[in-house]
Chain A
Amino acid sequence: MSLLEIEGVSKSFGPVNVLHGVDLTVDRGEVVGLVGDNGAGKSTLMKLVTGMYTADAGAISLDGTPILGLPPGERRRMGIEMIYQDLALARQQDVAANIFLGREPTRSILGMRFVDRAAMKRDAQAMIDRLGARLPAINRPVGSFSGGQQQSVAIARALTFEPKIVIMDEPTAALAVREVQGVLDLIRQLKADGIGVILISHRLNDVLSVTDRIVVLNHGRAAANLTTTNTDMAEVVSAIVGGGDMAEAAAHEARG
């Protein structure tokens, strides 16, 4: 039994069929790349997993428990975390405040509850250490950090929910080249911790370097399910655009 099992899910918005019976599985400690052209249905599929949308047909289960009927908050408690492209960080607040936003630890003084800054900083630091992320300082506003460092904060935040599976939407899209490796290392760290990862990305070089499997969506169908070690850029690009000789396009992608 896989950690996450998606079986034959369909979704349409009015007359527009976005997903036609997609299958996808993720195991513990497995990194699955989800790729496809714009409009292929990647985001819709992930929103069905997190519970933002309801599926028309099919089944999704986490650890064998069907989750399709559950609200987003319940799914999150069960261990499904999504990191959005915009990261949802409060840029003027520091690292600890962002990691614990909405669940700040408190301590009681004279019967009143105050935010326990010391505990917050300590736990935030521990999470950053566990992740092996590099940040300039934990008490600086995250808005002063680089894109990769902000991504680290968002990942650390997701980790505090003790997730079983983390869905990342274009984590490397807006990063400087030398920062991409840092984020890919963080993904490998999640994998080492036994967390399942779904990586949505247009940067096929990154997908090829960090994933175990690559699922290609094409017009709402899973067009290919490739084992990363047995595939190459040409095959992935070909599946994305729907067949034909894509040597030229693949070479272009490979050059980055």
Chain B
Amino acid sequence: MTSIEPKSTAPKPSLWARAQLGSIEQLHIRLESLIVLFVLGATMAILSPFFLSVSNFMNILLATSTIGVLAIAATFVLSSGGLDLSLGSVLGLSGVVGAAVAVKLGAPTPIAVAACIGAGAAAGFVNGLIITRAFVPAFIVTLGMLGIARGLALVLSDGRVIYGLPQTMVYLGQGRPFGIPMPVIIFIATAIVTHILLAYTRYGRHTLAIGDNENAARTAGINVEWHRLSLYTLSGALAGLAGLLFATRINSGDPTAGITYELTAITAAIIGGTNLFGGRGSILGTMIGALIMGVLQNGLNLLAVQSYYQQMAIGSVLVLAVFIDQWQVRKESRV
């Protein structure tokens, strides 16, 4: 007896269907999202003569880098069935902590960088601890942290922007080795490492399984509580990294940095195919989602479209992306 029952009536899967399945299996992305990105890019290239240039691509990547790192954090948490609403505030807190350690304490750059990322990780760890040990819903805990981290950032900085980071630190935000902005390099390196982590390691596969069916994961012997705790810590650390990119790019620790960024990050993750309720998500997909938003914003800027319309456009893309996704899922479940 063979396992694959030949379907005599059904036609051989089309090239398109096989490509769809292949991209999900090998790259962990929906082919449609990549096509949307290319169509959008091609449209912008036709509409604006300035779009197709290396320097403009660098602009898009640079503008996407901070949100992109936050969106990676959102992808991990969302695909595990969780939620982190504190990303933007933790970004702001981390930037202030990093700047304060560098400027007020005069610590060398490596220590300031570690403090920045460490502050984010600590906030994430607290989130995870309360969610997994005190059983308070993630929505509430991270909503609380949204307020706490923002307030703490304002307290630590006395409500003022901390200027004058050391040169070596500013290089992380403004340096351009080989003409490539440092934030872009850090962003892409982070994306590659985290994509491998989520798509090809047991840690990543367990993350998706927990988001898919927490009971099944627990029955399979996965330590769900420990895993969730580590995910929120990772999410916080990535928000800290985003805070570092933000602060070093503007050469200051701004306690109001990153307000509402968590919503933009979650939007990018979902446009990229992450399931809001867990079980599905990939960093490569999220990168495509973030780039779709970046290209849209950049293109509309080049076309001198008022920024109010950009917000409407991104909102529409979000709803459209989820619509297409749901439609695909329904189609697949009719097999």
Name A residues whose Cβ lies closer than 8 Å to a Cβ of B. Answer: 73, 84, 86, 88-93, 97-98, 101-104, 106, 112-115, 117, 125, 128-129, 132-141, 143-145
Q: Which residue of chain B has the shortest Cβ distance to A104 in the bound complex?
A: B202
The residue that A144 contacts in the complex, of B212, B222, B280, B332, with Cβ under 8 A, is B332
A residues near B50, Cβ cutoff 8 Å: none
What residues of chain A lie closer than 8 Å to B335, measured between beta carbons?
136, 140, 144-145
Cβ–Cβ contact B3 & A133, under 8 A: yes
Tell whether, in the assembled complex, residue A102 and residue B222 are in contact, meaning their CB atoms are under 8 Å apart. yes
- Whether the Cβ atoms of B206 and A93 lie closer than 8 Å is no
Query: Quick check: B3 and A93 within 8 Å, CB to CB?
Result: no
Q: Bound state CA distance, A143 and B1, in angstroms? A: 24
Among B21, B209, B332, B333, the most chain A Cβ lie within 10 Å of the Cβ of: B209
The reply to whether B213 and A125 contact each other, CB–CB distance below 8 Å, is: no
Q: A114, B279: Cβ atoms under 8 Å? A: no
B contact residues around A104 at 8 Å (CB): 202, 205
Among candidates B202, B219, B280, residue contacting A88 with C-beta atoms closer than 8 Å:
B219
**Of B7, B206, B208, the contact of A102 (CB 8 Å cutoff):** B206
Query: Which A-B residue pairs are the 8 nearest by beta carbons?
Result: A102-B220, A90-B212, A92-B279, A88-B216, A101-B220, A132-B1, A128-B3, A102-B221
Query: Could you tell me the distance between the alpha carbons of A102 and B222 in the complex, rounded to whole angstroms?
Result: 6
Cα distance A139–B13 in the bound complex, in angstroms: 14
Q: How far is the CA of A112 from the CA of B217 in the complex (A)?
A: 23
Other-chain residue from A91, A132, A138, A140 in contact with B213 (beta carbon distance below 8 A):
A91
Q: Say yes or no for B5: interface residue by CB 8 A criterion.
A: yes
Is there an interface contact between B213 and A88, defined as CB atoms closer than 8 Å?
yes
Total residues of chain B contacting the partner, CB 8 A: 31
Within 8 A of A (CB), among B10-56: 21, 25
Q: Which residues of B contact A86 (CB under 8 A)?
A: 215
User: Are A92 and B217 in contact (CB-based, < 8 A)?
Assistant: no
Q: Is B235 among interface residues, defined by CB-CB distance under 8 A?
A: no
Q: Are B212 and A114 in contact (CB under 8 A)?
A: no
- Asked if A93 meets B209 with Cβ closer than 8 Å, knowing A101-B217, A135-B3, A141-B332, the reply is yes
Say yes or no: B220 contacts A92, CB within 8 Å: no
- Decide yes or no whether B57 CB sits under 8 A from chain A: no
* Smallest beta-carbon distance B28→chain A, Å: 11
Contact B21 A139 (CB under 8 A): yes
A92 touches B332 (CB 8 A): no
Does the CB pair A135–B279 fall under 8 Å? no
CB nearest to A131 among chain B residues: B3
Interfacial chain A residues near B221, Cβ < 8 Å: 73, 102-103
By beta carbon, the residue of chain B nearest A185 is B1
